[in-house]
Amino acid sequence: MKAAVIVFPGSNCDRDLADAFERASGRRPAMVWHKETEIPAGTDIVGIPGGFSFGDYLRCGAIAARSPIARAIVDFARRGGMVIGICNGFQVLTETGLLPGALMRNAGLKFICRTEPLIVETTDSPFTRNYARGEEIRIPIAHHDGNYQVSEAELAALRDADRIAFTYAHNPNGSVGSIAGVLSENRRVLGMMPHPERRVDPAQGGTDGLRLFTSIVDALAPA
Amino acid sequence: MKAKVHVMLKKGVLDPQGEAVRHALGALGFSGVEGVRVGKEIELELAESDPARAEEMVREMCEKLLANTVIETYRVEIEP
C-alpha cells in the first residue's frame, strides 16, 4: 500500500497518521507539502491529518481546501482514489465538497479532548471492513469544531445509502444523528472527527484504531 | 473601492456562539434578549473602480471562499 500524507502549515497529526499507515502496511508514506500540485504517482490512499491548518482562519479547513494540493486531492478522489480525512482533515473534505455537510462549533462551545466510545455503523467500506457492524470501539476525539451538520434531506440520504461510518455512543458535540464519520457516495472517501491514529499501539491505551488502517491494507490487497 | 461582506449562519442553523452570548447578556441583567446570532464582517480593498464589476467579483469570492454556503449566507456591500 502506498499512502501519501498531506502536510499543511498547522497540521499536527501528520506524523502520527504516517506512523499508523506504516504500522499497518510496513511501508513509509510519502509526506506531501500543501504547495505540491500533484499526488505522487502510484498513490493508493491520501491521508489528510488533524491539526489547525492555516490557524483555522476564516473557517476550519477553509484555506487548506483552496490550497494547490487540495485541487489534486479532489481530482484523485474523482478518479476513484481513496482518501481519509481525520479531524481537521474531515473539515477540509467538507470544505472541498468531497463530503456533504459542515462542521460547526461544538454545541457546548468547549474544546473536547477525551476518548469516546464510537459505534461502527457500516462495514461496507474499505475503511471499516475489519470491524463488526454495531461494534463499540474507543477512539480519542480532540476538537472544538466537530458538530457535524447536514440538512434533514441529506441526513436521510446518508442513512438510506448506508454512508454513516461511525456514530458517537454519547453525542459529545451536538452532531446531527450523533455522526462521527461519513463516507462519500462511492464509499472511497471517509471523513471522521475521532483520531484512529491515536489508538494503534497498546502504549496509547488501546488499539481500536489499528483495524481501520489494516482494513485499508486488506481492501487494497489482491483477492 | 471598498467592499464589505457580511457572513451570517443561515436561518434554522443553530448558532452555539449566539446562544452563549444570549445567556451572558441575561447574566448581566439585560432581560428580554430573545435571540442572538453571531456573524462576521470582512472588509476588502479592491483595485476595481466599477461598482457592478466589483460586486460581481466579490460575490464570486463569497461563493468560492469567504462563505460556506452549506451553512452560511452572505451579503455584499460596495462602498463608493
Mutate to test the interface with A, among B14, B23, B41 (most CBs of A within 10 A): B14
Percentage above 70 pLDDT, chain A? 100
The pLDDT score that the predictor gives to residue B14 is: 83
Nearest to A101 among B16, B17, B70 (CB): B70
Q: Would you place residue B12 in the very low, low, confident or very high pLDDT band (cuts 50, 70, 90)?
A: confident
Per-residue DSSP letter, A177: G
Report chain B residues touching chain A, CB-CB < 8 A.
Answer: 13-14, 16-17, 20, 64-66, 68, 70-71
CATH number at residue B8: 3.30.1280.10
How many domains are there within chain B? Answer: 1
CB contact under 8 A, B20 and A109: yes
End-to-end CA distance of chain A: 14
| pLDDT tens-digit map of A146-193 | 999 999 999 999 999 999 999 999 999 999 999 999 999 999 999 999
CA distances for B65 relative to A21, A100, A127, B10, angstroms? 32, 16, 30, 16
Taking alpha carbons only, the member of B14, B72, B80, B13 closest to residue B41 is B72
Residue A195 known to be catalytic: yes
CA atoms within 13 A on the CB side of A94: 28
Q: Is the pLDDT at A52 greater than 90, yes or no?
A: yes
- The active-site residue, picked from A13, A34, A60, A87, is A87
Calculate how close chain A gets to B70, using CA atoms only, in Å: 7
Mutate to test the interface with A, among B7, B19, B70 (most CBs of A within 10 A): B70
Mean pLDDT of A124-146: 98
| pLDDT tens-digit map of B23-69 | 999 999 999 999 999 999 999 999 999 999 999 999 999 999 999 99
Q: Is the pLDDT at A10 greater than 90, yes or no?
A: yes
R_g (Cα) of chain B, nearest Å: 16
Q: Would you place residue B16 in the very low, low, confident or very high pLDDT band (cuts 50, 70, 90)?
A: confident
The pLDDT score that the predictor gives to residue A53 is: 97
Per-residue DSSP letter, A178: G
Percentage above 90 pLDDT, chain A? 98
Mean pLDDT of chain A, nearest integer: 97
CB contact under 8 A, B70 and A104: no
Class of domain A3-220: alpha beta
A213 is written with which cell numbers? 488502517
The pLDDT score that the predictor gives to residue A223 is: 67
Domain containing B53: what range?
Answer: 2-79
The pLDDT score that the predictor gives to residue B80 is: 77
Task: Tell me which of A8 and B11 has the higher pLDDT.
Answer: A8
The pLDDT score that the predictor gives to residue A160 is: 98
CB contact under 8 A, A66 and B13: no
Calculate how close chain A gets to B35, using CA atoms only, in Å: 16
With CA atoms as reference, the chain B residue closest to A91 would be B68
Model confidence, pTM:
0.95
| pLDDT tens-digit map of A207-218 | 999 999 999 999
